[in-house]
């Protein structure tokens, strides 16, 4: 973390939330540190930085800062761009791994209940969320196994303690392997020092491991019955203490989640069954009781033994024998069976139960490792394989009664603290050397002396314990304590009551004290040797190795040794733990470390209570204050010149908005000189180093004052730029639109010209040519053009018509216009004779008589031409119908009697007619409307020329053409779809048309409101 980054975070959160980086404290004192930590906790800010170290305070409540939106906010961002968060350090570790192909690790530490397990889960979830954007199936599978493994390991490795409902009772280090794309390809889990003593004994108010209660409360009735169990934990010695303990965990739902996780990870049904059979066997083992009968010891009740043998697939007699006897090989190779005392039998039973659970847990971890390990990896084909390690390990434990487990855990923390200090100092020193800055020596507590006190060969406490365990004869914990007092009397960090007789806080022959870097811890030596020996009789190992269950057999490979076979003495528990921690430290030392330091705010699990003394103690033993001092020693803040310049260039007139100097370094010097900070900085090769936070805050305050002004200025410039951009864009749009419109118009003209270029030579003069669709601007022009073309086409057609046929053509055009397409057949396809009565072909018998009468009428009335003539059926004023002849001339309309030599029955002036009505059907009915409302109703009849001619259209066309062309007047024509309306002697009449079977010729029939025209049925 550097000056700019820290200031950026301070600006993001505001001073009311305290300082987001402890490095920014005005003075590095415990008081200021605690005051800032408490303020941020009370304000809901549970994360704070010390450089790149995250200090996390357990909030004891759900917080809405871990969803998809938060992940997106921190993805790919720098530490200083957002408020402190686990996601920020996770992303930093991932970026370092991906960008620089550098192995990284995240070390999570803190005491039980400080939130280490939750922190590791959030880190895993974040890494899973930001990887594999292409959703490759094999990568998703690895991610699912890595995430689900947490659920399984929690069930079998966590328990409720008085401090924490979900306390990890083992240390866990997980390596996640990534390919060159940054996608997870596998992983490996190491577990450290499982608290197996919890299997057989728990403190008051605490529970055994979750897995037991999940099985008993979450297992189906059928499953429990097959395991010879009942769903009450109080029935079993090993779970009785925790049966009534209140916990926030739901064992039933947790059991379902674990079963699902085991399936997702890849455990077979047989393996899952075997796992829970072993748990059931451990529970039943705790209920095995022994009784003495004389010198022999017996098992009280055979049922538990039978059930255990069934669950472990072993022989009941072998189980009984292993519980009651110990097989011993004498020096001469003879094998004898030595009976246990009741105390030894109880010890052996409990040791067996602890070993069973420890082997089960180790097998589960190795099984998960076998599934998630990187397979078929070839560096040449797949590129460099990088790793992110996540270490979730116990912090210092200082209880009222500290035993062997606390001794190992605190030794582990000493090793990790040593690595922590060394790596930080080493990184600082390397950076100062790279930048050419003189390194200032930092005085800090080097806890190597404490590490040596514990682990040094031949002199350390572990060596003394091992020596005591190897000594032949009865060696007690007290004898071992005397040996430590003798060998370590001069060590400044070791004491006991014997060495400090006046210190009454320790008891003689019981306690010794180590002055750890985090504080003094008094250990009770009782049980040290037994726990270090970790004794388990060989009989139990052979019993399990000979099990018919392959899973159980796999867990006990050392059971195959013969009782007479000479083997090396097994390493003690302390030595094994020391070796694993040394290997862990070596593994972490070769990675780039990131740290999460977890703090427990109170013992009440309250989201509002902040116990100052409790937290101050944790701050002390986690070495957080020392960490701040190391960061601030010398030049605590550093930043690359370009980035420093980018942030603060507005505070100097020579660098805003851009400088003209040869290098960024000279521009930064100008900023520093203008503010008078020359004595508080140093210039490296690529970075500026700032000594105190006051310099940084002064720059930040000036920058904060200038930002609103710059923002307004930038808004003004940007708005103007946007407006000009929009204006130019609109102009460009209109220019393009104008050009496009012109193009479309021209293209339309060109297309019309192309299509109609040769219409003059076409047979139909272009009638069949399809017009191109016009652009919107030419819609009106298009309609005018098409009309002009139709007129031209019509003119070309008319030009070719002989003058003798023009009268007929005009009449047909008039009929077409008047009937408006509403009458289907109106005779357009035949020649129109007009004067049918004088046509010898149509009226061969009466045509000569009509010609004579027609000449007489012409001479008498002076009409010029015959417009239409023909036979018809007419209704008279007495509502009677009769056959008549119709003669229409250019002056009069005559009704003639054909049977009396075409005698004129009635003559009406043509001017008296105001319109015509016809039907839309095939009938020949016509109504001639007059101005006197005494209309003429008739039905035209065919002659001999063609029996089925439609003459209605011809009559309509002849009259309309005559009125339009000669009289210059309109003659309205109405086409009726239903009844035809007219007036006779002023009275309205309706005429309908009906077909009648047997009707030979059309005829009128009177109806209630007029007439019916009866026509022959087709």
Residues designated as active site: 112-113, 117, 164, 167-168, 395, 397
Q: Which tokens is 739 given?
A: 């050009």
- Tally of helices (H runs) and strands (E runs) in the chain: 32, 31
Spacing of C-alpha 982 from chain mean position: 80
Q: Which tokens is 123 given?
A: 């880190």
Closest of 295, 261, 312 to residue 148, by C-alpha: 261
Q: Which tokens is 713 given?
A: 């200025």
In what order do the strands lie in the sheet containing 866-875? 903-909, 892-897, 881-889, 866-875, 936-940, 925-930, 913-919, 973-976
Spacing of C-alpha 644 from chain mean position: 37
Residues in Cβ contact with 694 at an 8 Å cutoff, skipping those fewer than 6 apart: 26, 680
SS3 503: coil
Distance in angstroms (rounded) separating the CA atoms of residues 496 and 512: 4
Tokens 């590490």 sit on residue: 451
Q: Which tokens is 37 given?
A: 């930590």
Residues in Cβ contact with 24 at an 8 Å cutoff, skipping those fewer than 6 apart: 6, 10, 693, 696, 697
Q: Which tokens is 561 given?
A: 């040794």
Residues in Cβ contact with 359 at an 8 Å cutoff, skipping those fewer than 6 apart: 544, 555, 556
Distance in angstroms (rounded) separating the CA atoms of residues 525 and 637: 47
Distance in angstroms (rounded) separating the CA atoms of residues 903 and 849: 11
Residues in Cβ contact with 72 at an 8 Å cutoff, skipping those fewer than 6 apart: none
Residue 55's φ and ψ, nearest 5 degrees, are -100, 120
Decide if 135 contacts 405 (C-beta within 8 A): no
Strand partners, 976: 919
Strand partners, 742: none
Tokens 């472990």 sit on residue: 312
Backbone φ/ψ region at 726: left (φ over 0), alpha (ψ -120 to 50), beta: alpha
Q: Which tokens is 957 given?
A: 């066309």
Q: Which tokens is 999 given?
A: 């009707």
Distance in angstroms (rounded) separating the CA atoms of residues 12 and 347: 60
Spacing of C-alpha 30 from chain mean position: 44
Q: Which tokens is 567 given?
A: 């083997």
Distance in angstroms (rounded) separating the CA atoms of residues 328 and 308: 24
Decide if 290 contacts 342 (C-beta within 8 A): yes
Distance in angstroms (rounded) separating the CA atoms of residues 570 and 550: 25
Give the β-pairing of 925-930 and 104-109: unpaired
Distance in angstroms (rounded) separating the CA atoms of residues 777 and 742: 10
SS3 296: strand
Distance in angstroms (rounded) separating the CA atoms of residues 960 and 967: 10
Q: Among the residues of 756-839, which ranges form H helices? A: 779-799, 806-819
Decide if 86 contacts 123 (C-beta within 8 A): yes
Strand partners, 918: 926, 975
Give the β-pairing of 104-109 and 592-599: parallel
Strand partners, 637: 690
Q: Evaluate the omega torsion of the peptide bond into residue 657 and state whether it is cis, within 30 degrees of 0.
A: yes
């Amino acid at each position: 973390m550097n000056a700019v980054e820290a200031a950026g975070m301070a600006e993001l959160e505001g001073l009311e939330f305290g300082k987001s980086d402890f490095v920014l404290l005005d003075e590095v004192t415990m008081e200021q540190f605690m005051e800032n930590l408490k303020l941020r906790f009370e304000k809901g800010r549970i994360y704070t930085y010390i450089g790149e170290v995250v200090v996390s305070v357990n909030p004891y409540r759900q917080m809405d800062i871990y969803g998809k939106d938060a992940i997106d906010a921190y993805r790919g961002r720098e530490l200083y761009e957002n408020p402190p968060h686990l996601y920020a350090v996770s992303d930093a570790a991932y970026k370092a791994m991906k960008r620089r192909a550098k192995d990284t690790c995240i070390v999570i530490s803190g005491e039980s209940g400080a939130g280490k397990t939750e922190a590791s889960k959030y880190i895993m979830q974040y890494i899973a969320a930001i990887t594999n954007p292409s959703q490759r199936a094999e990568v998703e599978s690895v991610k699912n196994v890595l995430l689900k493994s947490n659920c399984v390991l929690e069930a079998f490795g966590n328990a409720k303690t008085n401090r924490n409902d979900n306390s990890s009772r083992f240390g866990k280090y997980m390596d996640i392997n990534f390919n060159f794309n940054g996608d997870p390809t596998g992983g490996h889990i190491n577990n450290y020092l499982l608290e197996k003593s919890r299997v057989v004994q728990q403190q008051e108010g605490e529970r055994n491991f979750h897995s037991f209660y999940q099985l008993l409360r979450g297992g189906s009735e059928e499953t429990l019955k097959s395991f010879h169990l009942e769903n009450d934990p109080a029935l079993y010695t090993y779970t009785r203490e925790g049966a009534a303990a209140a916990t926030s965990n739901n064992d039933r739902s947790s059991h379902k989640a674990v079963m699902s996780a085991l399936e997702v990870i890849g455990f077979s049904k047989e393996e899952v069954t075997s796992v829970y059979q072993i748990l059931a066997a451990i529970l039943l083992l705790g209920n095995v009781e022994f009784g003495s009968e004389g010198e022999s010891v017996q098992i009280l009740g055979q049922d538990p033994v039978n059930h255990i043998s069934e669950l472990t697939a072993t022989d009941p007699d072998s189980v009984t024998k292993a519980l009651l006897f110990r097989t011993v090989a004498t020096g001469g190779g003879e094998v004898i069976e030595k009976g246990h005392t009741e105390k030894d039998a109880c010890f052996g039973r409990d040791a067996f139960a602890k070993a069973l659970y420890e082997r089960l847990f180790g097998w589960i971890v190795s099984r998960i490792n076998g599934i998630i390990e990187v397979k078929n990896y070839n560096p040449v084909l797949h590129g460099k394989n990088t790793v992110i390690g996540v270490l979730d390990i116990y912090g210092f434990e200082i209880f009222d009664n500290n035993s062997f487990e606390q001794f190992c855990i605190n030794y582990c923390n000493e090793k990790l603290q040593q690595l922590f200090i060394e790596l930080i100092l080493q990184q600082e020193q390397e950076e100062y050397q790279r930048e050419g800055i003189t390194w200032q020596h930092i005085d800090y507590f080097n806890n190597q002396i404490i590490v040596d006190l514990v682990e040094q060969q031949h002199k350390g406490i572990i060596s003394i314990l091992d020596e005591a365990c190897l000594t032949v004869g009865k060696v007690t914990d007290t004898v071992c304590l005397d040996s430590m007092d003798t060998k370590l009397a001069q060590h400044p960090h070791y004491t006991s009551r014997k060495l400090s007789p006046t210190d009454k806080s320790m008891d003689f022959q019981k306690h010794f004290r180590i002055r750890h870097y985090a504080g003094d811890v008094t250990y009770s030596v009782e049980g040290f040797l037994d726990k270090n020996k970790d004794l388990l009789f060989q009989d139990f190992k052979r019993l399990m190795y000979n099990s018919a269950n392959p899973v159980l057999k796999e867990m006990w490979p050392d059971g195959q040794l013969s009782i007479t076979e000479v083997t090396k003495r097994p390493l003690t528990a302390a030595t094994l733990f020391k070796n694993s921690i040394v290997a862990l430290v070596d593994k972490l030392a070769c990675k780039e470390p990131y740290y999460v330091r977890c703090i427990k705010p109170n013992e009440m699990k309250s989201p509002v209570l902040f116990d100052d003394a409790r937290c101050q103690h944790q701050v002390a033993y986690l070495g957080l204050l020392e960490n701040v001092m190391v960061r601030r020693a010398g030049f605590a803040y550093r930043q690359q010149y370009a980035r420093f310049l980018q942030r603060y260039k507005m505070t100097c007139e020579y660098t805003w908005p851009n400088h003209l100097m040869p290098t960024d370094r000279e521009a930064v010097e100008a900023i520093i000189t203008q503010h008078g900070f020359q004595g508080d900085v140093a210039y490296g090769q690529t970075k500026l180093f700032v000594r105190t936070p006051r310099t940084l805050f002064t720059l930040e305050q000036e920058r904060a004052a200038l930002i609103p002004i710059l923002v307004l200025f930038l808004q003004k410039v940007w708005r103007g730029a946007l407006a000009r951009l929009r204006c130019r864009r609109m102009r460009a749009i209109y220019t393009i639109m104008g050009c496009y419109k012109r193009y479309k118009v021209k293209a339309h003209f060109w297309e019309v010209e192309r299509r109609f270029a040769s219409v003059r030579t076409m047979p139909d003069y272009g009638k069949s040519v399809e017009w191109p669709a016009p652009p919107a601007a030419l819609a009106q022009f298009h309609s005018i053009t098409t009309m002009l073309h139709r007129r031209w086409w019509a003119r070309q057609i008319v030009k070719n018509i002989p003058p003798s046929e023009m009268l007929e053509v005009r009449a047909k055009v008039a009929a077409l216009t008047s009937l408006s397409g509403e009458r289907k057949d109106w005779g357009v396809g035949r020649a129109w004779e007009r004067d049918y009565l004088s046509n010898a072909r149509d009226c061969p018998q009466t045509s000569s008589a009509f010609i004579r009468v027609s000449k007489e009428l012409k001479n008498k009335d002076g009409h010029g031409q015959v417009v239409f003539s023909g036979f018809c059926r007419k209704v008279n004023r007495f509502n009677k119908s009769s056959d008549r002849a119709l003669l229409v001339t250019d002056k009069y309309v005559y009704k003639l009697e054909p049977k009396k030599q075409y005698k004129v029955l009635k003559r009406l002036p043509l001017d008296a007619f105001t319109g015509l009505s016809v039907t839309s059907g095939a009938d020949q009915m016509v109504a001639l409307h007059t101005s006197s409302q005494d209309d003429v109703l008739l039905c035209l009849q065919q002659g001999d020329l063609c029996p089925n001619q439609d003459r209605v259209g011809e009559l309509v066309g002849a009259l309309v053409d005559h009125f339009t062309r000669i009289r210059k007047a309109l003659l309205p024509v109405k086409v009726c779809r239903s009844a035809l309306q007219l007036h006779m002697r002023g009275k309205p009449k309706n005429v309908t048309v009906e077909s009648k079977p047997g009707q030979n010729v059309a005829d009128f029939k009177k109806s209630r409101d007029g007439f019916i025209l009866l026509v022959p049925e087709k």
